[in-house]
Structures are given as structure tokens and as C-alpha cells.
Amino acid sequence: MPFLTLPGLGHLPALMLRYETWGDPQIGRTLVLVHELGGSVESFRDFVRHLSQDYFVIAYDQRCAGLSEEPVSAFSLDDLADDMVRLADALDLPEFDLMGLAMGAVVALHFVRSHPDRVRRLVLCDGTAAIDSNSSRYVLERASKIRQEGMRNVALASLQNSFRGLLDSEPPAYYLRYRDQFIATSPQGYVMHSEALAAMDLKDEDFARVTCPTLVATGRNDFIWPPEVGQALANRLPNAVFEVVENAAHFPPLQQGELFSRRMLQFLRAP
């Protein structure tokens, strides 16, 4: 469970992030994973076992998430992308493959938009190209409720949306673990990430800069950003393909880890 203190960058002060690695760094291929809103390294704990034979895998807790430092100042999606720049520089990663999940896909987009030369291949899992006014209002209203009442009172409704169609019978063990981790998430950190997400505002010229080969994948049952949202995202990128992940909702790496990892590795191994 390494921790790394990143040097300041522009207006951003020094920041301590927790990260973990799997696989052999000598393998020659590095994959960075960026977690979702309310998630952490733990979101990928089972998923990475399908990847670490082929890749040196790095996952990290974003600021105000998991075990990373929790600054008190508001931040933007660009700030989260700059955190990834600082992490990649500190770990000596001039180029790597990148996968972002849900809000992590949005952060990944902001990173590649600003640093297109640093990502070889990109996987955007259950992401979106835009946050409309209704979605922004919902995200901010939920954040306000969390600020007043904490995580527990929103957990059930949020997770029912994220695991739509997968909880009809006895909840699987991975769901129960995720539920507990979600409830234990820092309310203030969740609120600050929500506020950053609600302000998402990428333009056509931003998408045009994401020229690397990109796989956009969305769970068939995703209620939050359903397949048509994923298709719309792929349509705005110059070199993207779109696929649906069957029997998954908002978190395919968790809900269909083996299936999704096979498709993801097939995409990443292409020349």
C-alpha cells in the first residue's frame, strides 16, 4: 500500500496519493486504472488479477478518495487530470495505456485531452461526453443530501442504480463488499468529486485531441449513463469503437470482470 507525495504543480499544492501495483514492471506494458465516483483502488481489487499477467497495472486513490489525502479546497476535473500527470511523472511513466471507470472515464478524457502523447490506448468504461443540466442538478442535489446526512442515507438508491438488473436474487459477495466500502466513503470527498463532475464542460476541440485508439464500453443495464450515452461519447472521438458489455450495469470491471477483461486485453494488445 505505497503512498507518494506529489510535488506542487501550478496552483496545485503538494498532494499525497495512495497507489498499488500488480504484475512485473519489467513486462514493458503499463496500464493505469482510474476509479469511479465513490470508489477507490478497492474497486479494481478483483479485476486486476485478470490483467496482471499481461500488464504492469497501477491503480490509485484520487484526491479525497480512499486513503489519499483529502484537501479542503474545491477542485476541478482538470485538477484531477493534473494529479494523474504528477503521479505518472513521479512513477516515470512517459507513455502508458489508460482505463477510466464512470467518473474515472471523465477524468481520463481530461487527461488525454491535455496530454495526447502520453496515452497509447484508452479504455472509457461507462463514461459520458457531457453532463446536461438535469444530470448536474441531480448530482448536486445528491451531494447536498450527503453533506447533511452522510453516505448511508443515499447508498441504497445510488447502488440500485449502479447495479441495475443484477440484484434481483441474493446479492453477490462483490456487491456486499462494494456496498460497505461505499458507505465508508468520506462524505466530504464524495461531495467535492460530485461538484467537480457537475461542472464538466468539454468542447468539440477537446474531443478532437483524443486521437489514440479508444474503446468505449458500457454495461447493457447501465441506468446512469446507458449504452446510448456511451455510443454518443464514441461518436465524438476520432478513433473510437463502441461496445456493450452484457450482464453488467455501471461498473463492468466489478460486475463482469473476466468477460470485460478479455475484451479489454484484446483491444489493448492490438498494435
Confidence of residue 249 (pLDDT cuts 50, 70, 90): very high
224 sits in the region (left: phi over 0; alpha: psi -120 to 50; else beta) called: alpha
Closest CA to 226 of 249, 247, 246: 249
Domains of the chain: 3-130+202-269 (3.40.50.1820)
The pLDDT, as a whole number, for residue 176 is: 95
DSSP, collapsed to helix, strand or coil, labels residue 228 as helix
Share of the chain above pLDDT 70, in %: 100
Question: Which residue in this structure is represented by grid cell 444530470?
Answer: 135
Give the model confidence (pLDDT) of 170-222 as tens digits: 889 999 999 999 999 999 999 999 999 999 999 999 999 999 999 999 999 99
Largest Cα span, the chain: 50
Share of the chain above pLDDT 90, in %: 96
The pLDDT, as a whole number, for residue 170 is: 85
Which pairs from 156-161 meet CB under 8 Å and 24+ separation?
Answer: 158/38, 158/182, 161/223, 161/224, 161/250
271 or 189, which is more confident: 189
The pLDDT, as a whole number, for residue 169 is: 78
Closest CA to 60 of 26, 28, 96: 96
Whether the model clears a pTM of 0.85, i.e. scores above it, the answer is yes
Give the model confidence (pLDDT) of 76-108 as tens digits: 999 999 999 999 999 999 999 999 999 999 999
